[in-house]
């Protein structure tokens, strides 16, 4: 099942009851943190994400899940849902796009993935290893959903960390403008027709790392 098919099923009841702007893109909101992972030789080996879903999506995602403690879920109980999430993300390149010195880089499938549930919201943790570790002068990492079905916002505090980076590396985060207001002015049918299939590119979170 594709990611949007999965999200669509989970949110169907909400969207049926919702009206007006609530029907327009985006449908899901994610607050994200990212860690760029470096090897001892200074090469970048991958990125570790933590994506916290909005409370509405979280509520429907856990609906019907069995747990020993009411209103609480362990990593083990959330394991199947975590697997479904990361498998569904593959179709969308994990919403993560990297360029090393201008060259597009690709990621392997996620590892070390799990979900946790705290304060009524779900957070998906996963690591994306690069297919080939790289040691560029500049790395650009962008996180976004092309169709803007999902709105990614980097966390206010400690949104990006460099883990094991060589001395002298400098990181800059360019946050996008709020695309929700713009998207909600567009008719939902516009997105379904594909006319704005790359709308989300205008609201990408752009992480740039320059190393000596």
Highest mean pLDDT among 3-7, 89-93, 116-120: 116-120
* Cβ contact 176:53 at 8 Å: no
The chain-wide mean pLDDT, for the chain, equals: 83
Q: Are strands 121-134 and 44-53 parallel, antiparallel or unpaired?
A: antiparallel
Handedness of CA 146, 185, 58, 81 (dihedral sign): negative
pLDDT of 195 > 80? The answer is no
pLDDT of 169 > 90? The answer is yes
pLDDT of 149 > 70? The answer is yes
Q: Name the residue among 29, 2, 44 with its Cα closest to residue 122.
A: 29
- Which residues have C-beta within 8 Å of that of residue 195, sequence separation ≥ 6? none
> Of the ranges 39-48, 94-103, 168-177, 186-195, which one carries the lowest mean pLDDT score?
186-195
* Cβ contact 137:210 at 8 Å: yes
Looking at residue 176, what is its pLDDT?
Answer: 85
Using CA atoms, how far residue 48 sits from 101, 113, 116, 125, 162, in Å, is: 21, 10, 15, 7, 10
Looking at residue 18, what is its pLDDT?
Answer: 38
pLDDT digits (tens, 9 = 90+) for 37-89: 999 999 999 999 999 999 988 988 888 888 888 888 999 999 998 998 888 88
């Amino acid at each position: 099942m594709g990611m949007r098919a999965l999200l669509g099923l989970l949110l169907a009841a909400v969207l049926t009851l919702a009206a007006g702007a609530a029907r327009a893109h985006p449908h899901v909101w994610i607050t994200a943190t990212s860690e760029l992972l470096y090897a001892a030789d200074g090469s970048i080996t991958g990125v570790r994400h933590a994506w916290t879903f909005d409370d509405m999506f979280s509520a429907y995602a856990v609906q019907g899940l069995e747990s020993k403690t009411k209103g609480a879920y362990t990593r083990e109980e959330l394991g199947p849902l975590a697997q479904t999430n990361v498998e569904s993300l593959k179709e969308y390149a994990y919403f993560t796009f990297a360029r090393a010195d201008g060259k597009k880089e690709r990621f392997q499938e996620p590892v070390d993935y799990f979900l946790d549930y705290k304060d009524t919201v779900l957070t998906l943790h996963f690591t994306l290893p690069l297919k080939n570790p790289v040691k560029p002068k500049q790395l650009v990492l962008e996180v976004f959903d092309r169709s803007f079905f999902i709105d990614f916002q980097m966390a206010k505090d400690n949104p990006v960390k460099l883990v094991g980076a060589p001395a002298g590396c400098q990181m800059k985060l360019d946050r996008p403008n709020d695309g929700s207001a713009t998207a909600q002015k567009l008719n939902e049918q516009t997105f379904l027709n594909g006319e704005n299939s790359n709308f989300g590119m205008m609201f990408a979170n752009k992480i740039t790392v320059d190393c000596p």
